[in-house]
Amino acid sequence: MFELVVDNPYTLDVATRRPLAEAADVDRVLDAARAAARRYAETTVKDRVALCLAVVERMEAHAETIAADISRMMGKPLKQARGEVGGMAKRARYMASIAEATLADTALPPQEGFERRIARAPLGVVFNLPAWNYPLLTAVNVVIPAVLAGNAVVLKHSPRSPLCGEHFADAFRDAGAPAGLVQALHCDHEMAGRILADPRVDHVAFTGSVSGGHKVYAQAAASRFVDVGLELGGKDAAYVAADADFDKAVDGLVDGACYNAGQSCCAVERAYVHRSLYDRFVEAAVALMKNYRLGDPMSPETSLGPIAQPHHPLFIERQVEQAKAAGARVLFGGKRTQVDGKGRFFEPTVIVDVAPHLDVMRVETFGPVLPIVPVDSDEEALALMNDSDLGLTAAVYTKDRERAERMAKKLEVGTVYMNQCDTLDPALPWTGVKDSGKGSTLSSIGLLGLTRPKSINFKL
């Protein structure tokens, strides 16, 4: 039997081991999910809401264990991991609060002798592949809405964070969910590809890289008509206008670049600052970068944890080195490092004089690196912000709402922020354009996306 081994990004010791599923295991899981989906489709939305709320309470009761597992598996500082448990609960409760109204039948205008309405039917079995960087949030975006909509879920979490899939499955079991309704599965890429193409799967939801999204979409949709939701990467830009609240802009962009060690799809990876503020902004950003404390993610003093994936510090460093070779200047950071001889860290980094064609401006970095570029106008900022193959979020820092509104209409992204960044409101759909993905999660739109319309046309 093959085994999944996950290392601790700080100690580099083994964090956890899990056996990988073989073909017979997958068959049992998919058959159980199919049977559970058929039975569960007959339940009321009210009962599904009660189940999901009970699941949230059980996960909150184990918050310390879950947070510690996150820190051990992917290096997130424990304080931030605890915050992720809270964020997961907030999203789940919001989706539960809108489920009955969102999933209710839509009655059409009366027509004599007929009853006409649009019902929402479950899809069946949802195969969910969440990401490791926010292992609870990327999972809850699909798991809870899928169950609320009447589906069963097979949860194949990232091989970097397998225990999080188990935490969801255990919570559903302990809350009294029907057998097979939510199951955690650990398997290799080849086996995952077989599941993607399996006719027992009715919907696929993937959160991860652009390259991974292409592979998932090709495998799932190549030979059958199945919907695939893709939440992929970002190269998110922020613009600091001349009238911005300076301190809030600096705080927001530096935190947006460095929170979770920059390992966020909506991290700020490009900063465009009006030239009248540029020099002050760069100086202030460097000062804030110097305040980060790298170290043991279990320590309360640590504010920037290690990089989760073994290969990634070198990837980030190569982006920085390419930029330096082309004339860019690193004002702070820019290198792989360790703390007391431990871990795989990357220094928080400020880089300037960066040309728009360089990888650090075009390819997702997924690390604590902030390139800062001066601009002379809103129009120049807008053109540079849209000059990307990715389109997840964009932020505009200004005191002028009309400026933000004008730019929002032209920004080619799924979410536009004003005076904030790197955040998410579950009442709004989480969606991307271009290579940042397809489909939406969260909000009423995301919930409806895990159902199909069924027309009821009765002649009375």
Look up residue 309 and give its DSSP letter: S
pLDDT tens digits, 275-294: 999 999 999 999 999 999 99
For residue 394 the two structure tokens come to 């964009």
Active site residue 258: no
Task: Say which of 265, 266, 317, 364 is annotated catalytic.
Answer: 265
Same fold, 3-232+436-459 and 236-426: no
Averaged confidence pLDDT in the chain:
97
**Separation in Å, CA 457 to CA 111, 121, 328:** 11, 15, 65
What gap in Å lies between CA 391 and CA 385, rounded to an integer?
9
Query: The domain 236-426 belongs to what CATH superfamily?
Result: Aldehyde Dehydrogenase; Chain A, domain 2 (3.40.309.10)
β partners of residue 430 = 441
CATH class given for the domain over 3-232+436-459 = alpha beta
Active site residue 265: yes
User: What is the pTM (predicted TM-score) of this model?
Assistant: 0.97
For residue 185 the two structure tokens come to 């599965």
Other CB atoms within 10 A of residue 419 CB: 16
Q: What is the pLDDT of residue 128?
A: 98
Which residues of the chain, if any, have pLDDT below 50?
Answer: none
Q: Which residues contact 85 (CB under 8 A, 6 or more apart)?
A: 59, 60, 63, 66, 67, 136
Task: Say which of 52, 84, 164, 231 is annotated catalytic.
Answer: 231
Other CB atoms within 10 A of residue 148 CB: 25
What gap in Å lies between CA 460 and CA 458, rounded to an integer?
6
Give the SS3 label for residue 4.
strand
Q: What is the pLDDT of residue 267?
A: 98
pLDDT tens digits, 212-266: 999 999 999 888 899 999 999 999 999 999 999 999 999 999 999 999 999 999 9
For the chain, give every domain's residue range: 3-232+436-459, 236-426
Contact 251, 288 (CB under 8 A): yes
